[in-house]
Amino acid sequence: GIQVEQSPPDLILQEGANSTLRCNFSDSVNNLQWFHQNPWGQLINLFYIPSGTKQNGRLSATTVATERYSLLYISSSQTTDSGVYFCAVRKQDKIIFGKGTRLHILP
Amino acid sequence: NAGVTQTPKFQVLKTGQSMTLQCAQDMNHNSMYWYRQDPGMGLRLIYYSASEGTTDKGEVPNGYNVSRLNKREFSLRLESAAPSQTSVYFCASSFSGSNEQFFGPGTRLTVL
């Protein structure tokens, strides 16, 4: 089946730093989403991005479907950005989540 | 709009007990999903319902049953709970399978 790998698995940054999170997938997909799971466990939609580039404030994402990867950029990190970032892909009726990148922003 | 709601928020069961997790959405979505999340893992799809009246197995369906009661509600039942079913359960919904999903707050289930 389709494999989804996220890197890095863990990331510790100082407040104000920028970061890039990566999601690789092993097959063509119908769609891709990025989520943020906050320290209270809530899953928050960040981007629905099967292809192309989107921006929302300090966050942006790019998916290059032909090369089977997506990137999530976080600029000027804040402590509230801490948590786990997941990408999830869908191929036909299969939905696969990556194992996530755990981000910890130090004040 | 409440979005996606789940009840209960927490539950403790003994091995062999049964229970039903409830999920409802008020976004007029057609598709609904049940996932489980185990420590250090991403979410894994248990069952989904592409539309009212249909249900299909996901990646980890064993030990679970589902009911799409109507367009708004999608329940997950554990007939005989096992410690391996200790997890956090998330419900989600979307307009269709190809659209973005919105998640409920989760149910933390412990099976002793």
Give per-10-residue mean pLDDT for chain B (112 aa): 93 97 96 93 92 92 96 97 97 85 95 97
What residues contact residue A100 under an 8 Å CB cut-off, 6+ apart? Answer: A6, A9, A37, A84, A85, A86, B42
Q: Based on C-alpha coordinates, what's the Rg of chain A? A: 13
Confidence category of residue A18, pLDDT binned at 50, 70, 90: very high
Q: Which of A33, A90, A96 sits opposite B97 (nearest CB)?
A: A90
User: Across all residues in chain A, what is the average pLDDT?
Assistant: 95
A74 is written with which tokens? 């976080």
Number of Cβ within 10 Å of residue A57's Cβ equals: 7
Q: How far is CA A11 from the centre of its chain?
A: 13
pLDDT of residue B69: 87
Reply yes or no on whether the pLDDT at A93 is more than 80. Answer: no
Does the distance separating the beta carbons of A97 and B42 come in below 8 Å?
yes
What's the CA gap between A5 and B33, in Å, rounded?
22
* Chain A CB contacts of B56 below 8 Å: 93
Asked if the C-beta of B95 comes within 8 angstroms of chain A's C-beta atoms, the answer is no
Confidence category of residue A23, pLDDT binned at 50, 70, 90: very high
- Interval A50-72 mean pLDDT: 97
pLDDT of residue B2: 82
CA angle at B100 for the pair B86 and B98, rounded to the nearest 5°: 105
Does the distance separating the beta carbons of A30 and B98 come in below 8 Å?
yes
B15 is written with which tokens? 């091995």
What's the CA gap between A4 and A95, in Å, rounded?
10
pLDDT more than 70, % of chain A? 100
Residue of A nearest to B88 (CA): A41
Does the distance separating the beta carbons of A94 and B40 come in below 8 Å?
no
Which residue's entry shows tokens 């990148």? Answer: A101
Q: Check: CB of residue A84 under 8 Å from CB of residue A69.
A: no
pLDDT of residue B1: 74
Confidence category of residue A1, pLDDT binned at 50, 70, 90: confident
Beta-bridge partners for B20: B77
Confidence category of residue A46, pLDDT binned at 50, 70, 90: very high
